[in-house]
Structure 1
Amino acid sequence: DSVSQQIERLLRDEFTNFIVCGGDGTVHGVLQALVEAGDDVTLGIIPFGSGNLLAKDLGIPRQPLKAALALLTAQPVPTSVASMEFRTATGEMARRYWIVAAGVGADAHVICKIDHGFKARYGIYAYYAESARQLLLARYKFPPFVVEFQESGSDVSRREIVTQLVAERIDYFGRCLTAQKNGAGAERISPDLHVVLFKTPNALRYLAYGARLLGNLMGAPPGKIRDVELVRARELTCRELRPEESLPPGWKGARQGSGEILAEADGELLGSLPAKIQILPATLSLLRPTSPHH
């Protein structure tokens, strides 16, 4: 049986509490069935995977035994879930739920190229290494695309041309750009998506962001990066540039219409544009230790 089939069978038997042993990809697979079950489902995580960003955000210990012990006294925290609609390889539109992060553009291209053995051994650092390889050696061309949205709290519609966006439900990719004001875990219960927009084809901006992200993870303060913007929104649509749409000034070298633009969620490659990312009213509860560990 697939993971979804196992979950669906357990739900029919009226199980409502689940413990997942694995990484963000495993949680992503389980999430597909759990969201359909409604709000009365609780999920705990014992991190065995390569990424484990959700477990880290929840304060769950990285060692499996310590994680299991921590879950014994953990409390359920209601958590908002997001979805992504995308075009599949066969040209049909599909939807997947996600709970960590979703990306379009360069981010998804990196995930497409990561060596699975390298990822299994080095986890999230494999992502950083592949990003650096593409920036410095493979000379990724950063094909531009259009993202349309309304910022939370505003009635004004925005249209931006970007080469990458990352939307998240955890406090990870955007934290290096601005200080977190609402405390740990606020992103998971917020009605908004935290979205990082890369409004540039300049590889140096990506390298600056990567350095700022790694530095912030090691304790350095957040700060702004030119052409990289952090916004909050509840829904975004992504599409390819139309023939009549021109690139912004200063985008010399950007290749308009230069290949397929990919989309991913929770580290799983999904498909391509067009894509729609939105926060959902549906929630589930995640077990969070009363005394978080990292």
Structure 2
Amino acid sequence: MIWTRDSAAASERCASPARRLLVIFNPAAGRRRRRRLAAVLDGLERQGSEVALRETASAGDAERVARECGPDIGAVVVAGGDGTINEAINGLMAREPSSSPALGIIPIGTTNVLSRDLGIPQQAEALAQLLARGETRNIYVGRANGRHFSLMCGVGMDAHIVSRTSLRLKKRIGKLAYVVQGLRELVANVPRRYRVEIDRSEVVEASSVIVTKSRLYGGEFQLAPQAAIGRPELQVCLFLRGGRFSTLVYVIGMVAGHLDRMPGYRTVTARAIRIDGPDGDPTQLDGDPGGGLPLEIGLGEHPLTVIAP
């Protein structure tokens, strides 16, 4: 499906030419999300952008489209959530940097953490103007066992929550599905310990570990305030204590914005991390299941260009 500029839009165009955009969209999204996408597409037409829309049919489609799109595409724009964005990032990172289009985002997913961290506008007209003619900047993504992530990867409590949350329930109640599964994990209170090797110099044991590029967690809370997606480094968030009481303390501290003051919690800046634990224990990557342990984590091979303020 193609939207092209008409004569009226062309007469109003700015001095800089509008980008040619390839928009990747999951057709399973609900009506409200479709209306939001339609509003942004209308704004792009008024900006003078030529837009091609590609609908995904199954997992992996967004990665393939981003990897294989032609050199005439100025930006690959993901209309979706962090999971679909993760797919597209892996497709773009597989390309040569000189031939890779920029990444744009139309946030219509469940949490949209990356778009919040980047300061992507919510208003449709402002977003269309940004995507068509806005500035770009580089970010540094992480890499875990060969797969790239823009937000975080982890093991322990949050990885078990992600791996066990019902997709059907997630579609029905959104982010609350993670809260439901989190309560189940808290009641079960299964003890876990992981060995974390940081930059080949320090070894720590922890009950949960989150390696993050983003300062935000779940779209609402600050996990690592010092994290910066524009810097070539990772923040290792170590939850040193296990058990129900310590887990509740961590949750209260995060909700209150004072996690860094909670006993048994620390963060470390690093570039290379290895996490060992029970073989096959689940991991999470950008909020989706990411395979099993052990986990080798580092930075992506090169920066990723994004359209962002």
The verdict on a shared fold, with TM-score over 0.5 as the criterion, is yes
Q: What corresponds to 1:141 in structure 2? A: 190
1:196 maps onto 2:237 in alignment? yes
2:149 alignment partner, one of 98, 104, 107: 98
- Contact 1:80–1:189, Cα closer than 8 Å, also in 2: yes
Q: What corresponds to 1:209 in structure 2?
A: 250
Name 2:33's counterpart in structure 1. none
1:19 paired with 2:77, answer yes
Distance 1:65 1:118, change over 3 A: farther
Distance 1:64 1:118 in 2: 29
In the TM superposition, residue 64 of structure 1 has moved relative to its aligned partner by 5.3
State the AA in 2 paired with 1:238.
I
2:266 aligned residue: 229
Q: Partners in 1 of 2:94 and 2:160 — Cα distance? A: 29
Q: What per-residue deviation string (whole Å, max 9, x for no partner) do you get for residues 18-76 of structure 1?
A: 11100000001111110011334311100111121001111123465653344345321
What secondary structure is seen at the aligned counterpart in 1 of 2:83?
Answer: helix
Identity %: 26
Counterpart residue type for residue 204 of structure 2: E
| Aligned equivalents of 2:158, 2:210: Cα separation in 1 | 8
Give, in whole Å, the separation in 2 of the partners of 1:178 and 1:265: 17
Which one scores higher on RCO, CA 8 angstroms, separation ≥ 6? 1
In 2, distance between residues paired with 1:24 and 1:273? 22
Deviation at 1:132, TM superposition (A): 2.7
Counterpart amino acid of 1:25? Answer: G
Equivalent residue letter for 2:298: Q
Contact in 2 for aligned 1:235/1:278 (Cα 8 Å)? yes
Per-residue CA deviations over 1:103-134 (Å, capped at 9, x if unaligned) read: 11221110011122332344444323422332
User: Contact 2:235–2:269 at 8 Å: present in 1 too?
Assistant: yes
Report the structure, 1 or 2, having the larger helix content: 2
The number of aligned residues is 246
Q: Distance in 1 between matches of 2:215 and 2:225?
A: 10
The answer to whether residue 177 in structure 2 is matched with residue 157 in structure 1 is no
Tell me the SS of whatever aligns to 1:37. Answer: coil
Following superposition of structure 1 onto structure 2, how do residues 1-294 of structure 1 map, counting pairs within 5 Å? 2-11=61-70, 13-40=71-98, 41-62=101-122, 67-85=127-145, 95-135=146-186, 137=187, 139-150=188-199, 157-173=201-217, 176=222, 180=226, 187-216=228-257, 223-240=260-277, 260-289=280-309
TM-score computed with the length of structure 1 as normaliser: 0.75
Task: In structure 1, list runs of 5 or more residues that go unmatched.
Answer: 86-94, 151-155, 181-185, 241-256, 290-294
Q: 1:178: Cα distance to partner?
A: 6.7
Q: Do the aligned partners of residues 222 and 237 (structure 1) sit closer, same or farther apart at CA in structure 2, a change above 3 Å counting?
A: closer
Q: Cα RMSD (Å) of the superposition? A: 2.6
The TM-score normalised by the length of structure 2 is 0.71
